[in-house]
Amino acid sequence: MPDLEWCIERGVGTITLNRPEARNAFTFEMIRDWARLLVEAKQNDEVRVVVLTGAGDRAFCSGIDLGSISNANRELTPLARKSQLHDEIHQVALAVEALDKPLIAAINGAAVGAGLDMALMCDLRIMSTSARLSESYIKIGLAPGDGGAYYLPRIVGTSKALELLLTGDFIDADEALRIGLVNRLAEPAELAAATRALAEQIASAPPVTARMIKRATYQSAGTDLRTALDLISSHFAVVAATEDAAEALSAMREKRSPKFVGK
């Protein structure tokens, strides 16, 4: 079986990290496939929502396979280390940034280091009640190399983020929900179904509108109010003129389920 699995069902594309025997640690080959799948998901009209999860129930992702980027490997030059991150691992983060379709992390088990960073870069996170999370870099003498210092403060605030980054402490599902790191919790046996239900609910919405909402939300976070309002007026005008907007109003008037085509 491949180390990275991809399937599309009912508008939901699912990426599964499939190395449960290695706690779903990722390799450079997986990273290349991962980034490619995200690009393809953006271009594929059949995909309306993307889900990221791990195989098994022990781990969502334990980060990179340390055999290829170990801190103990003194043969790597600083430039080679930077290139491993910048030219390889960071391609997933850049593909996520370019993906204007909702991305949901289903955290089925432990998410550690770069594995947690991969969940943080998703738009929404659903976590198993048995899972635990840790920004563990500091415990092996490393800085957060996959965007943890960027994503985490934006989700939980600077002070809490620094606490998690500087201690490397594990937190459980209840604490993750309390601090806003995850959106929802589910019992382990119910995680896949709960994630599927949320993904399909979003996938059933007008796809152009969903993409515009995601883009406007992230774009507005980095600009001033006047620019954000000017931007959303343009987005609003575009989505209001779509076939799906007309279909939504017709379905509401006729008290039936709408059928959206993404136009």
* One domain, residues 180 and 227: no
Which range (46-55, 65-74, 138-147, 195-204) has the least confidence? Answer: 65-74
Quick one: pLDDT band at residue 68, thresholds 50, 70, 90? low
* One domain, residues 224 and 122: no
* One domain, residues 139 and 249: no
* One domain, residues 161 and 74: yes
* One domain, residues 45 and 73: yes
CB of 38 closer than 8 Å to CB of 2: no
Is 262 within the bounds of a domain?
no
* One domain, residues 216 and 181: no
Is 147 within the bounds of a domain?
yes
For 208-241, how does the pLDDT look when each residue is reduced to its tens digit (9 = 90+)? 999 999 999 999 998 999 999 999 999 999 999 9
Is 29 within the bounds of a domain?
yes
**What phi and psi values does residue 85 have, to the nearest 5 degrees?**
-80, -60
Q: What is the CATH number of the domain that holds 26?
A: 3.90.226.10
* One domain, residues 215 and 187: no
* One domain, residues 102 and 165: yes
* One domain, residues 178 and 243: no
pLDDT given for residue 67 in this prediction: 73
Q: Which bin fits 11, alpha (ψ -120 to 50), beta or left (φ > 0)?
A: left
Quick one: pLDDT band at residue 66, thresholds 50, 70, 90? confident
* One domain, residues 60 and 162: yes
Is 260 within the bounds of a domain?
no
> Dihedral of CA 107/104/49/18: which sign?
negative
Q: How many Cβ atoms are within 10 Å of 124's Cβ, its own excluded?
A: 18
* One domain, residues 195 and 239: no
* One domain, residues 199 and 213: no
pLDDT given for residue 69 in this prediction: 60
Domain count, the chain: 2
Q: How many Cβ atoms are within 10 Å of 140's Cβ, its own excluded?
A: 13
Q: What Å distances lie between residue 100 and 45, 61, 115, CA to CA?
A: 12, 24, 22
Q: Which domain holds residue 224?
A: 207-254
